[in-house]
A and B are shown apart, each in its own frame.
Chain A
Amino acid sequence: MKKRYIVIALCVLVLILIAGVAVAQKTQNAALAEPVVVSPTDKAAIDTFDKQVKGYIELRNKVRESAPKLSKDSTPEQIHAYRTTLENSIRSARLNAKRGEFFQPATADFIRRTLKLEFQGKDRQELREKIFETETQGVVLRVNYPYAQTAEFSEMPATLLTKLPQLPKDLRYRFVGRNMLLVDRESDVIIDFMPDALP
């Protein structure tokens, strides 16, 4: 009888160990870590943001039809023509776009708190410096205007990208100083921005 209990106890122990290893493997990489638990208020804000993003992508797909097709073996002239048409089409379709349509107060509040957590501590000082040293002269912070072609892009911290609301491939987050932008990946049109987002 005693032996039976020992065997059962050992089996349970082995199962716990296996589960522990599996969890450790799953979470060992910061970029693949599970998203932080968010409150119902934050979840509602993220849902609203996701809906706005989905709406933008639908609009983008529609206006992109007017742009010339772009292959993976394009010439510089074809790339230029595609980019210019896409930029103009997006801007025309969003003539009345205003700041804060995507970064609404509740979403902006969630993002600001996320940024504050990500950038706290001495080890993150280097990260802030890297963002601030990005040469963004010429960028006009204005919704529905293109990001200056001559300006550098800030590297977006991978560990932060995991925690922010996920974006489809045609939208990107970007920093310009303390401001956080939402930018169209191919046309570089500024879709929205949050002033003083970084703590």
Chain B
Amino acid sequence: MRRTHTHHFIFALLISAILFTPAPAQKLNGHSTTPLNLTLPMKDGSVRFAVMGDTGSGTAQQRDVGDMMIKYHALFPFEFVLMMGDNMYGGEAPQDFEKKFAEPYRALLNDKVKFYATLGNHDQALQVNYENFNMNGKEYYRFKKGNIAFYSLNSNYMDKKQVQWLEDELARETAEWKVMFFHHPPYSSAKKHGSDGQLREVVEPIFLKYGVDVVLTGHDHVYERMKPQKGIYYFVSGAGGKLRTGDIDRESGITEKSYDRDLHFMLFEVAGDQMYFQAISRTGETIDSGVIARK
């Protein structure tokens, strides 16, 4: 009788162990990863893209983020990736293009995912001619996907010609969504760089005048989603290859959600008047998600 009880007890222990043990964690350079968890709705006919910034370090951490993007691409087949600048740190010899860009995202490139780059303060001007950055030889450019117009700006050198170009293009813009992407953040709570007030002085009036919806930036090596600023949604996604741990000033008053404990990338899905987003850490943890309704 006593033996039977012991057997039952051991059996119950085994069942509990099986039931309550977390799913097997994948290992990533010694760090465990969480199971993939897509929060985006995957609606028919939606525009799907990823965002990554400050990637070009050529480190194992950059490759980890690349690997996680590839895993999520299998779940959520995004068509293209927006790059927030600092695409290559510390030199741009042919082998740097390989190590700091092509190799970490090889599987995405092989799957015909297109990358659209913007220039950061570490990027040489001739990157605009690189076949995989799709910049068409231009430092600032526009392209359209579905009902969204994307504008890549060169925030390193916002001269009169560029400002005039932006005004002219926006004045005749017919796309429903207007999304800007460039390197320096007009709003940021990071302590290292923070909000670029001088750039904001010039671009914000134009964004407001022409009803820009979303602004995506990098430069600060953190993730941050601002509270809407004058009705515009600002994101900082600058930790795709470099991280500045603990850099967020949590007292800034402009943050809606921030993350500075690991590297990350973002996924976006636009379906009609809704823009869904999900920010994912290097290890696969969802660090932020939500939906933006078009104005």
Contacts and interface: CB of A to CB of B under 8 A. Distances in A.
Interface of A: 28-32, 70-80, 82-83, 123, 126-127, 130, 134, 149-150, 152-159, 161-162, 166-167, 169, 172, 185-186, 188
Interface string B139-178: 0000000000000000111111101100100000000000
Contact of B91 (A30, A75, A149, A157): A149
Contact of A72 (B137, B160, B198): B137
26 contacts: A29-B202, A29-B205, A29-B206, A30-B201, A31-B202, A32-B160, A70-B129, A71-B137, A72-B128, A74-B129, A75-B131, A76-B94, A76-B97, A79-B94, A79-B127, A83-B126, A123-B197, A126-B197, A134-B121, A153-B121, A155-B157, A158-B163, A158-B198, A162-B159, A166-B160, A186-B125
B63 interface: no
Q: Which 9 A-B pairs give the minimum distances between C-beta atoms? A: A72-B137, A76-B97, A158-B158, A76-B94, A158-B202, A31-B163, A73-B131, A31-B202, A74-B129
Contacts of A80: 92-94
Contact of B159 (A78, A79, A130, A161): A161
Contacts of B155: 155
Contacts of B227: none
Given A29-B202, A72-B137, 8 more contacts: A29-B167, A32-B164, A72-B129, A76-B93, A76-B97, A79-B130, A150-B91, A161-B160
Contacts of A28: 205
Contacts of B124: 83, 149, 188
Contacts of A156: 156-159
Given A29-B202, A158-B199, A159-B202, A153 B160 contact: no
Given A76-B94, A80-B94, A149-B91, A159 B201 contact: yes
Contacts of B127: 79
B58 to A, nearest CB: 13
Contact-residue size bin, chain B (C-beta under 8 Å from the other chain): 35 or more
Contacts of A76: 92-94, 96-98, 130
Interface centre among A29, A78, A123 (most CB of B within 10 A): A29
A193 B128 CA distance: 26
Contacts of B135: 72
A155 B199 contact: yes
B193 interface: yes
A32 B129 contact: no
A153 B201 contact: no
